[in-house]
Chain A
């Protein structure tokens, strides 16, 4: 099999740094993060490798990877990192870049579209009204579900930022 050669490049780490992830550059690859990762115990996800690829600017390995989406954002690695790398925050920054480059996951696009439509992540089901009333609660929760004026404002925020268009394109 021919060997694939990746050339280190500064563009990707610089992009992460410019979005607030400057601690990326401190990582010295000790592996405390991978040793602490609950997702890594169950899957092929290796957070230490992901961070190394990011440092080297091998974004073609990072951005399309399934593993980028296996972090539960539990922050255990970030808390334990002896170099103070804000690992979890950097994962989320890399996910933002992945989404911009067309790598949004289908399930996330669907949930995002729900938010862009109703202001809540979960659909409100009609049968919930009775369940809630039986518990002495207002049938329709006292959130923007019962305030159409403000709902418009929240939906407008998501139009202004381009989020609505983004999620309605769907994921890969």
Chain B
């Protein structure tokens, strides 16, 4: 049975707890064991923290990598931002001994254990695709979903591709295949790989700029027929969910995280999917 240290991050447990309960439910169904680690903090957010002070970013990320290391586990994230931080930080620290030594000095002063440079970081969608596999997923589908889906990959799931090496960042298939395993259809649309607009501290600093990008992407969805936007990142999720409310556009698309989507397909109690806390109504 695959087993991971379950990294919660900030947006999911504190704003969209339904994504957390959905993830726990579907992983249980699929035989993936998730271990809670109450030493985990913020990843910390790559756009803001790495932009402000890269040494702090790396040291706090290292603290999280150590917490998993001490349990002999790899980390599983459900957020592209957490993936961006932790996968990037592990890439730096696992390969650059000088950086690791520098960061370990900071950790020692703070009373944290030494990072040995071995922890791996996995994105849950990649775990589903590459560890669990599509046949096992299909075998759990109780309610095939007759839906047209606009997949939003988000940026830090696949990029920088030199570090991630998961799929082609321009024409990926991984999420489309995961969506189609439920019987749903993944619809092609213009600028499918475009950013939601929220990352890099843009949502915090210039929310109007972030919203303009979201609006542009939503306009591309209007050109095709889709029932929902599917994401694999609570921060993209928040940008679409709250963004559509802020934009007050006539056409609103339900925003569904892949864990919630699988929850629907696996017949998990709908109350546990947490759609009530969405700003944009999920009427599917």
Contacts and interface: CB of A to CB of B under 8 A. Distances in A.
B204 A135 contact: no
B160 interface: yes
Contacts, number: 215
Given A119-B41, A143-B41, A161-B53, A136 B21 contact: yes
A92 B54 CA distance: 8
Interchain residue pairs A-B with the least CB separation, the first 5: A75-B159, A156-B110, A73-B200, A141-B13, A74-B195
A157 B159 contact: no
A165 B195 CA distance: 33
Contacts of A137: 13, 17, 20-21, 24
Given A39-B213, A121-B42, 18 more contacts: A39-B197, A69-B206, A72-B155, A72-B195, A72-B202, A72-B210, A73-B51, A79-B170, A86-B160, A88-B160, A108-B205, A115-B44, A131-B17, A132-B20, A135-B17, A137-B13, A137-B20, A163-B56
B169 interface: yes
Contacts of B37: 142-143
A157 B107 CA distance: 7
B125 to A, nearest CB: 18
B144 to A, nearest CB: 25
Given A76-B195, A122-B15, A124-B14, A160 B110 contact: yes
B197 A72 contact: yes
A161 B199 contact: no
A170 to B, nearest CB: 13
Given A73-B199, A121-B48, A79 B159 contact: yes
A131 B53 CA distance: 34
Interface in A87-133: 88-89, 91-93, 95-96, 99, 104-105, 107-108, 111-112, 115, 119-125, 128, 131-132
